[in-house]
Structure 1
């Protein structure tokens, strides 16, 4: 376009210059803004459950999109083969076996995180972040003898979370209520809650004595108080208006997570979105019943995938996706029949929850702790696959480095460049844990010390990794851990034992 008027020319020049200045200022502001951080944590999701990790019978388009648009780690580990210890490690950057209380907890257990110690949310609060948790907690509440009808502390809010909307333990344990910032949500004070893990309350029905009231039958255990036609672990009385509806749980947690994002979109935030799926009892919303063809277990994985997709849509709609680091993983490996008759075994078909790995939840074999592990940051992380050895332990120190904090976790390594896809170098070694037993991963090698006890948990049909001799596997050549090289490679075994024991004594 030709402009002949000098005054008009000057005006256009000023306008363009001003626009360019504004655009530059905006770009600089965006570039320097601290990224939001969202950790999405599944419950009992195995290495082989996602299409991106080789699943063919289950459809997980949203998680596959996350994996294919970010870094998909093939050697990503939870710290433990059970839930509570892994969650402890994730938030503290400390190996769970260093804390004797970091075991699968009842719903009445006291908080196992010292309120004086550094945690991921506490670190981020120091760096100006708003912090929130939505979903499963399972790290204990209070100091013992909790009064569920009063403010419940210490809990998430005392270890760094500004906002919390949680269930205390697991979906199969009492109390079966949501807790919002330390108080039971929707509690009627005239109907107080009582909890007991030893004996039932007079007049209260149980799954063991009243099986005719159940819509989901227990296969082992899980036969105490009945809530919504499902018997639980532990006994509960009262709190009728506050009790959750299991089929609505995924929607409830998703809505709270979306509200949190929208409410804090003008400030840097950290959201720990702890899914309950596919932990038992598997109770998909009616929208998802039958969608997998694999029964409730498959259906709740499809449901979880949808929830992740909806959360990402919210970030995108709010203009936050390009300034948000998303981490997706699971607290431990898979289990099929874990306490209820829900057709999880009968309808499994050709699906392999652990993929090519041996073992599962509760196990020292690879499937116990090697889990899906994805980092995604639109426009910052270039898509790729990494074989680097990484642990959820490392998120604390790596996120600290991302925000400029000097804090570091005791056992957490700064692998920020690895998580961002700038390098494929990860840890040299990591100790994994399963029900107080530990094993060692170093390079391509996995070493399991001798342990007494049953070799197979027959209730869940999972090999535990116990043996009377040392086990040594080269995972590069033997991912399925079928060839024990302890006798043929004594020099490797001796070196690993020495370095493993040195870490245990630190």
Structure 2
């Protein structure tokens, strides 16, 4: 009898173990992978789907055909460090105390207490990797590995911050290439940079294909100085700039194809956009605005409207274009929504545009454009844009633009009064409608006043109550 009882006990235990090891009939789905590709100084008109004709971008064309293209997508700051801070935190960079473009002398960076896309996803079990240009502080305290990224490979700041800068030779030290927090090389030429970034991105995807991952691929190009590998040298009709764009397009194609090859297409969202418009003073080494007014370093649409493509097979419509406005500050809350991640504890400014991407439902709300040290230069609302009096740079009308990587000098213009534009009818900002629509001017100015109370405004000597401390070291 004792033996029978013991045998039955073993059978019950065995059955229980078998039951516990069986996979559930409806396992919870894997959270979506996120790939965020961020170009540097890429113009609104630099992709074929946005009007480029002097070079080809077949892989980005395919991404747009298989996803949704946004035709009024903005950055809030037309300059490197500020733009990247806004993208990664979902907050206006001036709220965070970040302005301009940091160089090798900067003793500050993104505050460690700010939460990035990488940090909110890492808390959800994601593998997080960054490849490319960081530009939010080069000191160890501010590097990507201190802001939620498991791994990092790239440059700590812009690729022109090196001894060969055409205007300030020998001011910058050798250009460091980092692996995590270690300088593994210094670059004296950059022809393999886009290829290296691409290879590292593919490695990261391969290594983490069995778990949710977030890849932030921030290309250094087409920011000057322009370099291209032998694969694309001489490939475009335009010259070196076109070659560089074609290599970036190739890089996007490599990443896109890798996702398809691994069977991850239906569980991966890919976002492609740029940090600001083209650096027009570099002439043939700068991109295209597709007719938009001015370029990088201004709050006219040529400086802050950028190409943007969102693709997620089965979730985001294919071959669709969206004309409603959105901004890079909306990327983090959108990713938070689709990954069911909590938003950062500190206040952010963006909101999820998932309903806009999937259903075409836009929420009417204002967006703001800042430049210099906390100057509120423009406010958007639906089709309207109100531009405030400020000083901005422009190319002289008689400027002889070059094609050798040497910039011409800007001149500066003082905008003396508020100007109002209907971007649905006048995307090139040529017809000031302020005198015809005083009620719209008043409405947008009231929105701007709320922003001034919150984040301040140097143009009106307004002090904000919602600004936070930037990260600093002594």
**TM-score > 0.5 by shorter chain:** yes
SS in 2 for 1:373: strand
Distance 1:304 1:103, change over 3 A: same
1:361 is matched with: 296
What count of residue pairs does the alignment treat as equivalent?
413
> Shift of residue 109 of structure 1?
1.9
Looking at structure 2, the residues matched to 156 and 270 of structure 1 have their Cα atoms a distance apart, in angstroms, of 13
Contact 1:294 1:344 in 2 (8 A): no
> Shift of residue 488 of structure 1?
2.6
**1:49-71 Cα shifts (integer Å, max 9, x gaps):** 11111222221000111112111
Structure 1 stretches lacking a partner, 5+ long? 1-21, 143-151, 175-205, 208-216, 225-232, 346-351
> Shift of residue 309 of structure 1?
0.3
> Shift of residue 294 of structure 1?
1.3
Segment of structure 1 superposing worse, 372-381 or 265-274: 372-381
Looking at structure 2, the residues matched to 460 and 482 of structure 1 have their Cα atoms a distance apart, in angstroms, of 24
Alignment of 1:110-129 (within 5 A): 110-129=107-126
Structure 2 residue 368 is the aligned partner of structure 1 residue 431: yes
Looking at structure 2, the residues matched to 246 and 238 of structure 1 have their Cα atoms a distance apart, in angstroms, of 12
Looking at structure 2, the residues matched to 444 and 309 of structure 1 have their Cα atoms a distance apart, in angstroms, of 33
1:158 is matched with: 146
Contact 2:111 2:142 in 1 (8 A): no
Structure 2 residue 361 is the aligned partner of structure 1 residue 451: no
Distance 1:463 1:46, change over 3 A: farther
1:45 is matched with: 42
TM-score of the superposed pair, with normalisation by structure 1? 0.76
> Shift of residue 100 of structure 1?
3.3
Structure 2 residue 256 is the aligned partner of structure 1 residue 312: yes
Alignment of 1:463-474 (within 5 A): 466-474=414-422
> Shift of residue 426 of structure 1?
4.2
Distance 1:293 1:449, change over 3 A: same
Alignment of 1:212-223 (within 5 A): 218=166, 221-223=167-169
Segment of structure 1 superposing worse, 236-245 or 320-329: 236-245
Distance 1:108 1:372, change over 3 A: same
> Shift of residue 397 of structure 1?
1.1
1:374 is matched with: 309
Contact 2:156 2:176 in 1 (8 A): no
Instruction: Supply the RMSD in Å over aligned alpha carbons.
Output: 2.6
Looking at structure 1, the residues matched to 410 and 386 of structure 2 have their Cα atoms a distance apart, in angstroms, of 19
> Shift of residue 389 of structure 1?
1.3
Segment of structure 1 superposing worse, 126-135 or 316-325: 316-325
Looking at structure 2, the residues matched to 154 and 392 of structure 1 have their Cα atoms a distance apart, in angstroms, of 21
Structure 2 residue 453 is the aligned partner of structure 1 residue 490: no
SS in 2 for 1:262: helix
Among candidates 323, 332, 347, match of residue 396 of structure 1 = 332
Distance 1:161 1:454, change over 3 A: closer
Distance 1:272 1:453, change over 3 A: closer
**1:143-201 Cα shifts (integer Å, max 9, x gaps):** xxxxxxxxx33311111111111201011114xxxxxxxxxxxxxxxxxxxxxxxxxxx
Segment of structure 1 superposing worse, 432-441 or 81-90: 432-441
Contact 1:448 1:465 in 2 (8 A): no
Contact 1:258 1:314 in 2 (8 A): yes
SS in 1 for 2:325: strand
SS in 1 for 2:380: strand
Contact 1:389 1:428 in 2 (8 A): no
1:500 is matched with: 448
Distance 1:103 1:453, change over 3 A: closer
> Shift of residue 111 of structure 1?
4.5
Looking at structure 2, the residues matched to 89 and 472 of structure 1 have their Cα atoms a distance apart, in angstroms, of 25
2:157 is matched with: 169
SS in 2 for 1:398: helix
1:344 is matched with: 285
Distance 1:166 1:110, change over 3 A: farther
Structure 2 stretches lacking a partner, 5+ long? 1-21, 178-182, 400-406, 455-474
> Shift of residue 343 of structure 1?
4.6
> Shift of residue 463 of structure 1?
8.4
> Shift of residue 466 of structure 1?
4.3
> Shift of residue 293 of structure 1?
1.8
**1:2-22 Cα shifts (integer Å, max 9, x gaps):** xxxxxxxxxxxxxxxxxxxx9
Contact 1:363 1:463 in 2 (8 A): no
Looking at structure 2, the residues matched to 465 and 269 of structure 1 have their Cα atoms a distance apart, in angstroms, of 46
Looking at structure 1, the residues matched to 34 and 68 of structure 2 have their Cα atoms a distance apart, in angstroms, of 16
SS in 2 for 1:354: coil
SS in 1 for 2:60: helix
2:228 is matched with: 284
Looking at structure 2, the residues matched to 328 and 426 of structure 1 have their Cα atoms a distance apart, in angstroms, of 22
